[in-house]
Amino acid sequence: MANERTLKRRISRTFVLQAAAISVAAVISVALAAFVIKQVLVTEALRMEADYFWARYAGDPAFPLPDTRNLHGFLAPIGDEADLPPGLRGMSDGFHDVPSGADFTTVYVTTRDAQRLYLVFDGERVNELAAYFGLVPLVIVLVVLYLSVWLAFRASHRAVSPITWLAREVNRLDPLAPSTGGFDVSGLPADADDEVRVLARALAGLAERLEAFVERERIFTRDASHELRSPLTVIRIATDMLLDRDDLHAQARDAVERIRRSSDEMERLVDAFLLLAREAEQGLPCATVSVNDVVDAEVDKVKLIATGKPIDIMCSAQCRLTVEAPEQAVSSVIGNLLRNAVAYTDSGSVRVEIGRGGVTIDDSGAGMDPGEIAAAFEPYHRGAPQRHDGHGVGLTIVRRFADRFGWRVSITGRDGGGLRAVVAFPDGQVGDGAKDEAEAPVQR
C-alpha cells in the first residue's frame, strides 16, 4: 500500500531526511565561505594594499603602482579622470562593485593629498578560486555523506529484515491451526542478531502454547457435548413418560414441563457447541440455504415455549431469501433470537419479517435498557435476571456465528416497548419471482 507505515520505510525516510539536511547545510556553508572570502578577505587585502602604497608613495613619488595578474592600480589627480578607464570615472572613495562584463569586479578608491588611488581587483578569479576550493570539498563531503548513509541504511535493513520476517510469520499464523515451524531459528538470516533469535524462540513457544490451548478447547467442546447428550436423552424420555400419565398432579405437570423445556434448551446448546467444535476442526460445508424455510422451521420449534402464553406469532416475507452458509449456523442464529423473543414476551406479539437484506424479529416484551442491550451479546448475560429459563449463552453463540460468516446482528429497543433483533445477510440472494407473502396471526 502506498501509505503503509513499516519500520523499514520509516528508517529509510529518516536516513533520506538526514542526508538532505546535511546536504543543505553543506551547500549553505560553502556559499557562506565564498561570501566571507569575497567580502572580508578581499576587502581587507585591498585596504592593506592601499595603505602600503600610500606609505611608500609618500617617501618616493616614483614608487610604481600595483600591477599584478589580479590587481591593478591607477593614480589620478582629483578632478582629472581623462586617463582613467571609463568604468572608473566618477567613483567616490570606498568599495565599488563593477558590472561583471568588465575585466574586474571590485574597486577600492582612496584619496590622499589631492591624489586619488584606484585599486582594481580581478574578482572573477576569486570567484573561480572560491568555487574550486568550495565545490571540491563539498563534493567530497557529499560523496562521503551519501556513502555513509547508504552503508548505514544497508546495516539497518539487515537488522530490520529478521524482524520483518518474524512479523510476516506471525501474520501467517492461524489461531485455529497454529504451527511452530514458521518460527524455526534456522530459517532466520545468517546475520540475525541474538535478540531476534530470542524473540523467534519466544514466539515459537507462544505458538506451541496456543496450539495446545486450541487443541484442549476442541477436545473439551467435542467430548463434553457428546457426553451431555446421553443424560439429556434420558431426561427427555423420562419427562415424556411422566407427561403421558393421566394421574399426574397439575403442579407436578408444570414442573415436568419446565424440566422438558430446559432439557430441550440444553439440547439446542449442545448442538450449537458441537457445530462450533466441528467448524473449528474441519470447517462446515456451505450450501444454498432458504432463509424462509429456516424461519418456518424455527417458528414451529418455539410452539412449546409459547404454550400457555397469549402471544401472536406472525411471519411475513417480502421475498424468497437464500444465503450461502451451513444450514445449522443459520438455524442457530435465527432460532436463538426467536426463542429469546418468545421467552421474554409474556403477552402480545412476536413478528418475524423476511426482507431483501435479512430477517427482523420484533417482540412486545419488557425490553431492555441501553446498558443491557450493550451487554446482550456478553457470555452468560440475561436481560431479565428474575427469569430462570435460559443460560445466557444463546446470543453469544449468535455473535460467534455472525462474526464467522460476515453477518451483522443488532438489537435495539422499540418505541412502545419490546425489542427488535435484526440479522443482516450482506451476501443474501433474492430468488426469482419473489413476492410478498404473509401468514395470518397464529395463537400459540
- Note the pLDDT of residue 436: 43
Of the candidates 442, 370, 361, which has an alpha carbon nearest to the alpha carbon of residue 409?
361
291, 439: one domain: yes
Indicate whether 158 belongs to any domain: no
Indicate whether 163 belongs to any domain: no
288, 254: one domain: no
CA–CA separation, 358 vs 323, rounded Å? 10
339, 400: one domain: yes
* This model's pTM is above 0.75: no
Q: Kindly report the CA angle at 76 between 74 and 81, in degrees rounded to 5? A: 100
* DSSP letter, residue 202: H
Count: domains in the chain: 3
- Note the pLDDT of residue 438: 41
- Note the pLDDT of residue 113: 85
Tens-place pLDDT, residues 373-400: 777 777 655 555 444 454 456 788 888 8
Percent helix / strand / coil, the chain, rounded to 5: 55, 15, 30
293, 421: one domain: yes
124, 188: one domain: no
210, 95: one domain: no
303, 437: one domain: yes
Of 93, 124, 142, the position where a domain reaches its end is: 142
290, 439: one domain: yes
Tens-place pLDDT, residues 298-334: 888 787 677 778 888 889 998 999 999 888 788 889 9
371, 360: one domain: yes
Of the candidates 18, 32, 33, which has an alpha carbon nearest to the alpha carbon of residue 145?
18
Its domain, for residue 60, covers: 7-142
409, 430: one domain: yes
- 60 Cβ contact list (under 8 Å, min separation 6): none
Alpha helices (H) in 283-393, listed in sequence order: 291-301, 327-343, 370-374
Going 364 to 366 to 372 to 378, the CA torsion angle's sign is: negative
CA–CA separation, 292 vs 354, rounded Å? 7
Indicate whether 407 belongs to any domain: yes
CA–CA separation, 68 vs 119, rounded Å? 11
Alpha helices (H) in 173-193, listed in sequence order: none
CA-atom Rg of the chain in angstroms: 47
227, 323: one domain: no
360, 213: one domain: no
Indicate whether 350 belongs to any domain: yes
Residue pair 407/401 in contact (Cβ under 8 Å)? The answer is yes
Of 283, 306, 322, the position where a domain reaches its end is: 283
Sole residue written with cell 569575497: 38
The CATH number of residue 220's host domain is 1.10.287
- Note the pLDDT of residue 210: 76
Which amino acid, 280?
A
Indicate whether 164 belongs to any domain: no
Indicate whether 153 belongs to any domain: no
Indicate whether 401 belongs to any domain: yes
Residue 257, CA distances (Å) to 76, 217, 345 in order: 133, 33, 18
CA–CA separation, 40 vs 106, rounded Å? 12
Burial class (CB in 10 A: 0-12, 13-18, 19+), 336: buried
Of 283, 298, 322, the position where a domain reaches its end is: 283
CA–CA separation, 443 vs 303, rounded Å? 10
Indicate whether 162 belongs to any domain: no
The CATH number of residue 349's host domain is 3.30.565.10
Residue pair 431/356 in contact (Cβ under 8 Å)? The answer is no
- Note the pLDDT of residue 437: 41
Low-confidence ranges of the chain (pLDDT < 70): 1-11, 33-39, 99-104, 123-135, 156-167, 169, 171-196, 221-222, 224-226, 268, 272-273, 275-284, 304, 379-393, 432-444
Tens-place pLDDT, residues 159-176: 666 666 666 767 666 665
Residue pair 387/438 in contact (Cβ under 8 Å)? The answer is no
